[in-house]
Structure 1
Amino acid sequence: MGGLTVPSSAFPSVPILYEDNHLLVVVKPVNMPTQEDESRDPDLLSFLKDDLKQRYSKPGNVYLGLVHRLDRPVGGAMVFAKTSKAASRLSDAVRTRSISKTYTAVVRGKPQAPQDTLKHYLLKDTRTNTVTSVPPGTEGAKEAILDYRVLASSGGLSLVRVHLHTGRPHQIRVQFQTIGCPLYGDQRYGAAVNRPGQQIALWATHLSFEHPTTKEPLSFTSLPPEEEPWTLWNRELIGGAE
């Protein structure tokens, strides 16, 4: 069902990449919370529930299961479950890392290795909602692993493709900050090199998993918007999303 959009007073549209009786795959808008938070701003989960209720004239509450998240400033492909069975099976797939999630990012500088596996231990401060890289064995720290490949570099910036093995809060942002390459536009983990108002350049470009009921392999791609700094690498972006 690619190409459909859900109109919103707060956001121009929420593209629907796929929908059936079990799943809803959409493109999350940037700067929209995945679910309700203390800001009380319109969130994607509530927005989609309201849309399902209206489109299908459903009485009462609408079920929509959240099985993974994207940080508020990040956009891209997300899957939601329309039944509790689908939610349970997709959540199991997330836990067993059988859902493949690929991101594209623009980072400051250039990583030393053209491709590598990054492994850090991350500790979250719930009071400030910030994450730091800490020594192994630190109480409360969780292992974070990702693979990356540099697709192109230009003007002090690099376009990288990132494949997550773990799904820790702010993982990509903190791990690249730790190696000296904070993300373009990241105000939280790269304030020293990014100007206020710059949009973080991190996009969930590819999502693949097995359908929770039919077992059919599903794969979805969402490209970043055609704006800076993404427009520096239009050709590489298309290839990097594959």
Structure 2
Amino acid sequence: MHNITDRDVIYEDNHLIAINKRAGDIVQVDDTGDKSLEDMVKEYLKYKYNKPNEAFLGVIHRLDRPVSGLIVFAKTSKALERMNKLFKDRQVKKTYLAVVRQRPQEPTGKLINWLVRNREKMVTKAFNKEVKESSYAELDYALIGELNGFHLLKVEPLTGRTHQIRVQLSTMGCPIVGDNKYGYPRGSSKGSICLHSRSLTFVHPIKKETITLKAPLQHDGFWEKFSKFND
């Protein structure tokens, strides 16, 4: 298991720290008992600032284990409270990059579904109309590149549902490469899927200025081939 280093840190001030999460890391401790990203960042802060006790760290949002990219943590309780409100009020613009094999029928579009989470099987199902215990889900997508039979999509979710991008793209007929949970024919040997949290834009909870944070693509022999398609 690796540790967080300065190279993993995209942004840090007194209130927030943003990490470029590696695919395969869990954000918070789960049943596997594997070391979490939350704990790794706490250790990083403790040693960086020579803190005698554990550093405060607040989990604001999450990324699925096989997903890479930008994730922001709060370093103070005030920042945590205000960032939670920004996410809840949909005041955070989120951009993801996804690689699919199947070209979308339309190069750009909006997907609207109602999602039902099966907590026992840990999967989400999408419906085209509201059903019992469903949650509204909306995203915009755009085809921004093609390479060797793979298609790169920019995805902007307007809601933040569990597995939302994965199940909505799959329902459209474009499962994410490596995501055998949602219809891609085979999984990745690295336990990753080709979904990357690319950027977040929001008003800083303390400084009150708009900031945009971006996570570079993973250098894994695949993702960097698509770097020419995005700024």
Q: Which bracket does the TM-score occupy, shorter chain normalised? A: over 0.9
* Unmatched runs of 5 consecutive residues or more in structure 2: none
SS of the residue corresponding to residue 156 of structure 2 reads strand
Q: Which residue of 1 aligns with 2:171?
A: 178
Bigger shift: residues 47-56 or 209-218:
47-56
Q: Any idea what the Cα deviations from partners look like across 1:17-37, whole Å, max 9, x if unmatched? A: 111111111111110001111
Determine the C-alpha separation between the residues in 1 that align with 2:119 and 2:130. 19
Specify every segment of 5 or more residues in structure 1 that has no aligned partner in the other structure, as ranges.
1-8
Match of 1:197 in 2: 189
Secondary structure at the counterpart of residue 227 of structure 2: helix
Query: 1:223, CA displacement in angstroms?
Result: 2.3
User: Which residue of structure 2 aligns with residue 130 of structure 1?
Assistant: 123
1:10 is aligned, of 2, 6, 27, to 2
Greater RCO structure (CA 8 Å; 6+ sep) = 2
**CA shift at 1:60, angstroms?**
3.1
| Residue correspondences, number | 229
Percent identity over the alignment? Answer: 36
TM-score, with length taken from structure 2: 0.92
Residue number in structure 2 paired with 1:4: none
Quote how far apart the aligned CAs of 1:61 are: 3.5
Alignment partner of 1:213 is 2:192:
no
Structure 2: distance between partners of 1:203 and 1:135: 26
Contact map agreement 1:201 1:229 (CA 8 A) in 2: no
- State the Cα distance separating 1:231 from its structure 2 match: 4.1
Say which SS state the counterpart of residue 79 (structure 1) adopts. strand
Instruction: State the Cα distance separating 1:62 from its structure 2 match.
Output: 2.3
CA RMSD of aligned residues (A): 1.8
CA contact (8 A) 1:10 1:42 kept: no
Listed as ranges, the matches of 1:143-154 within 5 Å are 143-154=136-147
Look up the equivalent residue of 1:171 and give its one-letter code.
Answer: Q
List 4+ stretches of structure 1 deviating above 3 A: 11-14, 226-229
Aligned to 1:86: 79
Aligned counterpart in structure 2 of residue 63 of structure 1, from 51, 56, 65: 56
User: Could you tell me how far apart the structure 2 residues matched to 1:194 and 1:188 are?
Assistant: 9
Report the Cα distance in structure 2 between the residues aligned to 1:160 and 1:167, rounded to whole angstroms.
Answer: 18
Per the alignment, residue 21 of structure 2 pairs with 28
Alpha-carbon distance, 1:135 to partner = 4.6
Hey, what does 2:97 align to over in structure 1? Answer: 104
- Helix, strand or coil: the match of 1:188? helix
State yes or no: 1:233 paired with 2:226: yes
